[in-house]
Structure 1
Amino acid sequence: MLKLGIIGTGNIAHQFIQAAQLAGGYLLSAIYSRRLETAIQFALPYGDVELYTELEAFVASDLDVIYLASPNSLHYQQALMILEAGKHLIVEKPAFSNPKEFAHIIEVAANNQVLVLEAARNYHEANFDIIIDFLKDKTIYGASFNFAQYSSRMENLLAGIYDNTFQGKMSGGALVDLGIYEIYAAYRLFGQPKTARYSADLLPTGVDVAGCGQLIYDDFQVSMIVRKNAQSSLANEIYTDQGTLILNHIQGLQSAQFRGLDGNTRTIPLKSLQHLMLEEAQVFETILSKPEEHQDLYTHLLTVAQQVNQTMTLMRQDANIQFEADL
């Protein structure tokens, strides 16, 4: 069993713990929060768990792996402490603010003989394997991906209060929060794009509340819509020489239909999802439990994570989005 520690007391951390418990290879052992009251409240569903308010003591405790889900801009410094303490790291997407941070983290992880994994859950969904297999005999003409989810922070935003997710100093914005899922889906389905563009609706804090992007491949483009200020029910579509494949989403993929050029529609059978983060937790448990047996898989995931980070950075630069961490 992997002794698991948690940094971050938001809903995403609860979700990962639930997935880890379903996966069965983790033992929740410790939780860190700056405030003891917050840690106590967060830990209530989980029974006897060690609570820490000092980060140094937390990373020095008897843990195998730490899941890091603090605000984006804090990932880098906290990751350094975790890796230098000899702990494996699972860091919630977006893992790091820019390629320079990511490259240094990889170097530190290698020097300390530990692993670092970005928690981008949709890349691990088995249903994408079914979609990839379905597309094998088809020529891709392009795709349209859409992720518009009205933020729980919009009420504050409209009142002129900019929470972490909407601040450049916190490495926030719609692209790195929601658009990253679309980029990861494109990487999974089509590989690395040749280049990328992004046009954004910018806030006074310098980050995007919404935007449109293109991932450009040799023979086609993937169009992206990203919004945190609206809710959308638009499907995600992949265009081929034989018809259009319609997906319910690019994360949490649960339904797929193919509308042929002859007008006929058929349903593509997909696997049911037990939990959005379960497949991710299972993959990470497999790698971390026997890293020497899964070096190729680890190297692949790390390479893709770096490439996705580079693509997002290119798109941010195109839209004039600058983080404090870039300076």
Structure 2
Amino acid sequence: MIIMIRFGTIGTSKIVNDFIEASLKSNQLKVTCCYSRDKTKARNLINKFSIYAVATDKFDILIDEADAIYIASPNGLHYEQAKYFLSQQKHVLLEKPLTLDFKQAEELFEIAIKNGVVLMEAYKTIHLPQFKHLLDFTNSYQPFMINLNLNKVTSRIKNLKNRIIDNIFDYELGRGSTYDLLIYPVELSVALFGKVESVKAFGQKLENKSGLTDCVIIKHQSGVISNITCSKVTNGIIENEILSDGLTMTFKDLINLKSISIHKHNDPNINELNYEVLENNLVYEMLVFTKMIETNDYALRDYLMNISLEALKTLNIIEKEQNQ
């Protein structure tokens, strides 16, 4: 028997639009309530997708209308909002990063355990079908290094040049590239190679200490080294690669994992791997989240949360290294 899970959403950004669009393809969840500080924006979102849902600017309405909450507010608001809903015994799908502070994220996890609910970070990459190709390569060929590049000009670049600080570059709400973008390669590295042993990091920042660019080297306890470059003020074109003895795996777009290929050393032939992915790939993380709720799969919850916590702890170390 399929359980229909009622979802409330917080925020009206593009990612929330994508979430609602993905929900329409699911027979396991239904968006029943949309929250925004500006109630009109919530109503406009509901009308855009022609869904039957309540528009609200009050959290207690979300409590009444939903079994689970998707939180896509600015990073600096994640902790208080997630804590409130977890304490009300609501499942929470929380946009990345979980919080800006490891201790706060750890506390959220403890509250989820205490209340017997699911908390999951909305980090979609490891839920994509093609992630298995990266994991299989890692398990089969014991790579010793990974090079990851995520350099993408922010849509707020014009405001930034005019010294207008949007939420993402506000130190209390976003902290720039270090938490908004670097989370992707760091979490991918942790998911593939495990716990972090040591970190070396440099960065370029705004006067308020929010990140613009990040250069990071991570040594994992497994011995693998992750070499990462990340920026929100320039566009990069270099691919990503996982290097082992005899074989190298390359892929584009480390968020969505595209064009995955295996190159054998001293062989000009390229083995491009095949896979099919839904156009709106948020569907995969939503399926994992709803299945955990339906089956009470707390072991999977804990496994995924430990990856998210290790990644966030590493981001905190990176920020400290850069500030020194």
State the TM-score, normalized to the length of structure 1: 0.92
- Residue of structure 2 in register with 1:241 after alignment: 245
Residue 197 of structure 1 aligns with an amino acid whose one-letter code is: K
Tell me the distance in 2 between the aligned counterparts of 1:227 and 1:123: 22
1:172, distance to aligned residue in structure 2 (A): 2.3
**How many equivalent residue pairs?**
318
Residues 148, 228 of structure 2: 8 Å contact kept? yes
Tell me the distance in 1 between the aligned counterparts of 2:40 and 2:200: 44
1:224, distance to aligned residue in structure 2 (A): 0.5
Residues 21, 49 of structure 2: 8 Å contact kept? no
Matched position secondary structure for 1:312: helix
Residue 176 of structure 1 aligns with an amino acid whose one-letter code is: Y
Residue 323 of structure 2 aligns with an amino acid whose one-letter code is: N
- Residue of structure 1 in register with 2:312 after alignment: 309
Residue 26 of structure 1 aligns with an amino acid whose one-letter code is: L
> CA 1:137–1:78 in structure 2 vs 1: closer, same or farther (change >3 Å)?
closer
1:39, distance to aligned residue in structure 2 (A): 1.1
Residue 21 of structure 1 aligns with an amino acid whose one-letter code is: L
1:108, distance to aligned residue in structure 2 (A): 2.2
1:113, distance to aligned residue in structure 2 (A): 2.5
- Residue of structure 1 in register with 2:126 after alignment: 123
1:141 aligns with 2:144: yes
> CA 1:104–1:136 in structure 2 vs 1: closer, same or farther (change >3 Å)?
closer
> CA 1:112–1:148 in structure 2 vs 1: closer, same or farther (change >3 Å)?
same
1:215, distance to aligned residue in structure 2 (A): 1.4
- Residue of structure 2 in register with 1:262 after alignment: 266
Residue 292 of structure 2 aligns with an amino acid whose one-letter code is: I
Residue 87 of structure 1 aligns with an amino acid whose one-letter code is: K
1:34 aligns with 2:56: no
Identity of aligned residues (%): 24
- Residue of structure 2 in register with 1:50 after alignment: 54
> CA 1:86–1:237 in structure 2 vs 1: closer, same or farther (change >3 Å)?
same
1:144, distance to aligned residue in structure 2 (A): 0.7
**Deviation per CA, 1:251-302, whole angstroms, max 9, x where unpaired?**
21121122221132322323222122121111111101121xx221111011
**Deviation per CA, 1:108-143, whole angstroms, max 9, x where unpaired?**
223332221111111212212122223444241311
> CA 1:219–1:116 in structure 2 vs 1: closer, same or farther (change >3 Å)?
closer
1:219, distance to aligned residue in structure 2 (A): 3.3
> CA 1:74–1:135 in structure 2 vs 1: closer, same or farther (change >3 Å)?
closer
Tell me the distance in 2 between the aligned counterparts of 1:309 and 1:39: 30
Residue 162 of structure 1 aligns with an amino acid whose one-letter code is: I
1:152, distance to aligned residue in structure 2 (A): 0.6
Gapped runs of 5+ residues in structure 1? 322-327
**Deviation per CA, 1:158-204, whole angstroms, max 9, x where unpaired?**
00111111121113211211111101211222222222222110101
Matches within 5 A, 1:189-200: 189-200=192-203
Gapped runs of 5+ residues in structure 2? none
1:278 aligns with 2:283: yes
State the TM-score, normalized to the length of structure 2: 0.93
Residues 59, 81 of structure 1: 8 Å contact kept? no
Tell me the distance in 2 between the aligned counterparts of 1:186 and 1:196: 13
Match of 2:228 among 224, 230, 238: 224
Matches within 5 A, 1:1-327: 1-47=4-50, 48-55=52-59, 57-217=60-220, 218-274=222-278, 275-291=280-296, 294-320=297-323
Tell me the distance in 1 between the aligned counterparts of 2:111 and 2:137: 40
